[in-house]
């Protein structure tokens, strides 16, 4: 508070300080030469009048006119910046430091939204038994059709959830099936059921943010879609799922077989920069199955999946990162009714806690985030900004060093550095990495 009430300091450019220093030096030299001339003539008579006469003769040494010309030049720089068509809308709020732009030595740039457009394009989905790219989504649609015809909702092989069951074995009744083979984790679910669960996770585990573009009209509202939801819409549209009615507690989908699926939203855990993940608990109205979906960064999600699937998850993330793609781990978990009721009661108590409420809520949620079933790792490409290569090359030729700041994996950062031109062909990459607890 005290710092905010202090008077703001005047912004002075380096050139102004250099000119001021030069003027002081010249002033001292002028006094020295004036005194030397009087000393050479001898301190006789009214020598101090002669001293001031000499000062008036030598005052042209101090470049007063140059200072005035610099001020006019700064006003001209400000005008050119504001009228430049290539940077339309730029406002120079300070006319005393525009020449500082020519003294830049370092540029610290964020990656997402600065070097890239923050416009995610679907590239790959890596699952235990297959990898789907942009050209393979028709195969995914065939798997979905087969799942819709042989099962109902998520976990299609599970026919019924007993609401009074105390554990997984008693409360989940699995229909007989012929296993097509075991995944790399050794869990052996039917492939088409896993594909359907993945599409449902992408379709249900997300949220939108309302945005009010017009401050004068609060009724005008737009919805901002996060990058994972844009990915979900791309995959869902190609795979054949269509979104229906969406409310705060109910979400409706139409599957490729034309059937309507209703999902009741029981709990929603939004994404945050601290948790680096989001989750949602839904109930499939037709079958009564309760499913917990969680998606997030691989460093957070890898320890939460089943032990037999962790190495597979990490391997897929590393492979996609080497291709310069941003990764997102998708997981799920089937929850018996009794277990969910116990969790909901503990979560309600945590929300009502008067002390350390956020910490209690986080602990309660984490108590459910174990032994998650790994579904897939999605890889999306963040398109580069227009002319980013030419801009970086021009800055480098001007002697400006550019630093890219990103929270991505090292492999992804290396690929982006190459694609944006931060690394030339004749340059090497040196990695300084440390491990933290």
Residues 6 or more apart from 227 whose CB is under 8 A from it?
A: 118, 120, 326, 380
Give backbone dihedrals phi and psi of 169, rounded to 5 degrees, phi first: -70, -35
Residues 110-127: b if buried by 16+ CB within 10 A, e if exposed: ebbeebbeeebebbbbbb
* 110 has catalytic annotation: yes
Do residues 201 and 235 touch, judged by C-beta distance below 8 A?
A: no
The DSSP line for 332-375 is: EEEE-HHHHHHHHHHHHHHHT-SSSHHHHHHHHHHTT-SSBEEE
The DSSP line for 208-276 is: -EEE---TT-TT--EEEPPHHHHHHHHHHHHHT-EEEEE-SSEEEEE-TTS-EEEEEEEEEE---TTT-
Do residues 112 and 382 touch, judged by C-beta distance below 8 A?
A: yes
Do residues 210 and 221 touch, judged by C-beta distance below 8 A?
A: yes
C-alpha distance from residue 19 to each of 10, 22, 111 (Å): 17, 5, 38
Q: Which of 41, 71, 84, 110 is catalytic?
A: 110
Angle at 14 between CA 12 and CA 20, to 5 degrees: 80
**Rounded to whole angstroms, how far apart are CA atoms 252 and 262?**
5
**Rounded to whole angstroms, how far apart are CA atoms 32 and 26?**
10
Residues 6 or more apart from 232 whose CB is under 8 A from it?
A: 202, 203, 206
Angle at 319 between CA 318 and CA 324, to 5 degrees: 90
Query: Distance between alpha carbon 59 and the CA centroid of its chain, in Å?
Result: 59
Catalytic residues: 110
């Amino acid at each position: 508070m005290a710092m905010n009430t202090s008077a703001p300091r005047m912004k002075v450019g380096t050139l102004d300080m250099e000119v001021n220093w030069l003027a002081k030096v010249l002033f001292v030299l002028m006094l020295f030469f004036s005194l030397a001339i009087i000393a050479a003539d001898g301190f006789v008579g009214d020598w101090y009048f002669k001293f001031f006469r000499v000062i008036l003769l030598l005052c042209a040494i101090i470049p007063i006119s140059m200072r005035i010309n610099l001020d006019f030049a700064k006003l001209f720089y400000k005008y050119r910046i504001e009228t430049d068509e290539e940077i339309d809308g730029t406002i120079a709020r300070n006319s005393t430091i525009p020449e500082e732009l020519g003294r830049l030595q370092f540029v610290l740039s964020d990656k997402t939204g600065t070097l890239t457009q923050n416009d995610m394009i679907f590239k790959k989905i890596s699952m235990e038994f297959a990898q789907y790219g942009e050209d393979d989504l028709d195969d995914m649609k065939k798997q979905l059709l087969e799942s819709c015809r042989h099962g109902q909702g998520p976990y299609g092989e599970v026919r019924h959830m007993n609401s009074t069951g105390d554990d997984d074995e008693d409360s989940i009744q699995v229909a007989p099936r012929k296993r097509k083979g075991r995944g790399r984790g050794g869990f052996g679910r039917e492939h088409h059921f896993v594909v359907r669960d993945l599409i449902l996770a992408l379709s249900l585990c997300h949220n939108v943010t309302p945005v009010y573009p017009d401050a004068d009209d609060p009724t005008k509202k737009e919805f901002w879609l996060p990058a994972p939801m844009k990915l979900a819409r791309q995959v869902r549209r190609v795979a054949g799922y269509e979104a229906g009615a969406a409310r705060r507690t109910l979400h409706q989908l139409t599957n490729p077989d034309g059937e309507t699926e209703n999902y009741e939203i029981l709990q929603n855990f939004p994404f945050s920069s601290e948790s680096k993940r989001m989750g949602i608990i839904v109930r499939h109205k037709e079958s009564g199955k309760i499913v917990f979906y969680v998606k997030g960064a691989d460093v957070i999600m890898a320890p939460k999946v089943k032990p037999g699937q962790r190495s597979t998850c990490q391997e897929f993330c590393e492979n996609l990162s080497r291709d310069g793609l941003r990764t997102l781990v998708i997981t799920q978990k089937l929850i018996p009714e009794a277990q969910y009721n116990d969790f909901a009661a503990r979560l309600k108590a945590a929300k009502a806690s008067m002390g350390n409420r956020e910490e209690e809520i986080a602990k309660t949620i984490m108590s459910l985030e174990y032994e998650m079933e790994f579904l897939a790792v999605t890889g999306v490409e963040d398109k580069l900004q227009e002319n980013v290569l030419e801009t970086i090359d021009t800055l480098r030729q001007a002697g400006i060093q550019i630093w890219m700041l990103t929270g991505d994996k090292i492999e992804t950062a290396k690929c982006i550095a190459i694609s944006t031109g931060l690394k030339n062909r004749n340059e090497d990459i040196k990695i300084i990495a440390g491990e933290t607890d």
